Structure 1
Amino acid sequence: MFAQENLSTYILLKWSKLLEYDFFRVYSHHLVLYSPQRRRNGDIKHEKIPQQSVVPQFRKSLYTKEIIAFILELISSGEKSKKEIIEEYNIPKTTLYKWLHKYK
């Protein structure tokens, strides 16, 4: 199994259950960090969309503790500056400074 280049999701799910570790969550964190940037408000062309088709966006739980720890580790190790973090990961400046104040 270690010599295989790929693992099926079925086998990975079995290993996740056996080891009690969510391998899929690691992948989803990667997707959140490296997903394409959203459009800014000024770039969006307003289209008339029926109210019932609009899906609510809940951003409160976007950043997990693992992501916050990863970002703060990059800053504390000196790998990236605060400005680089804000630009590269599209994290609001106020959010980053709240994390720095709260977790340090």
Structure 2
Amino acid sequence: MKVNFKDVHIGEIIYTRVMEKDIHIDRICSFMKQEEEDIEKMYASKSLDTDILLRWSKLLEYDFFRFFSQHLILYAPPSSVNYNKTIKSVLPEFRKNLYTKEVIDFILDLIEKKEKSKVEVMNQYRIPKSTLHRWIVKYKK
């Protein structure tokens, strides 16, 4: 299954993981405290409540929230430098982007297939030139 980070359909992704793990529907219903019909509706849902997604992550031993983190890394508009410095937050500050192997492969695939140039990738996804160069050297096919 090739994941589309731009348009995440979490129900389909969960269903794929359930099939990979070969978990019986009775166990899923028991763990999720839901009826089989409700589970089927979740598979068809493009989005799910975070509490439910957390339960799926625990059951299937997979971090489904990463799909949304990757979406933000690739498609969220850059924030203003001045804006970030003026706001003090009690929330933790995450200093680095989480470039997973899937995101790196996605980016390198765009370049390899000439769908985007290196400059376009650096500008659109805000990936530093040195980082992109390191990926190309390290993960060259």
TM-score range, shorter chain: 0.5 to 0.7
Q: Measure how far apart 1:16 and its partner are.
A: 1.6
Partner Cα distance (1:65, 1:76) in 2: 16
Query: What does 1:11-26 align with in structure 2 at a 5 Å threshold?
Result: 11-26=52-67
Aligned match of 2:110 in 66, 74, 81?
Answer: 74
Partner Cα distance (2:79, 2:64) in 1: 26
Higher relative contact order, structure no. (Cα contacts within 8 Å, ≥ 6 residues apart): 2
- Which amino acid is 2:62 matched to? Y
Match of 2:10 in 1: none
Relative distance call for 1:21 and 1:85 in structure 2 (3 A) is same
- Which amino acid is 2:74 matched to? L
Q: Measure how far apart 1:5 and its partner are.
A: 5.6
Query: What are the superposed Cα offsets for residues 15-46 of structure 1, whole Å, 9 maximum, x if unpaired?
Result: 22222221101111111222222457xxx5xx
Contact 2:107 2:121 in 1 (8 A): yes
Q: Measure how far apart 1:58 and its partner are.
A: 3.4
Relative distance call for 1:92 and 1:19 in structure 2 (3 A) is same
Match of 1:58 in 2: 95
Instruction: Give the length in aligned residue pairs.
Output: 95
- Which amino acid is 2:121 matched to? I
- Structure with greater helix share of residues: 2
Relative distance call for 1:5 and 1:28 in structure 2 (3 A) is closer
Q: Which runs of 5+ in 2 are unaligned?
A: 1-40, 86-91
Q: Which runs of 5+ in 1 are unaligned?
A: 48-54
- Which amino acid is 2:71 matched to? H
Aligned match of 2:130 in 94, 98, 102?
Answer: 94
- Which amino acid is 2:67 matched to? V
Q: Percent identity?
A: 54
RMSD, matched Cα: 3.2
Relative distance call for 1:98 and 1:22 in structure 2 (3 A) is same
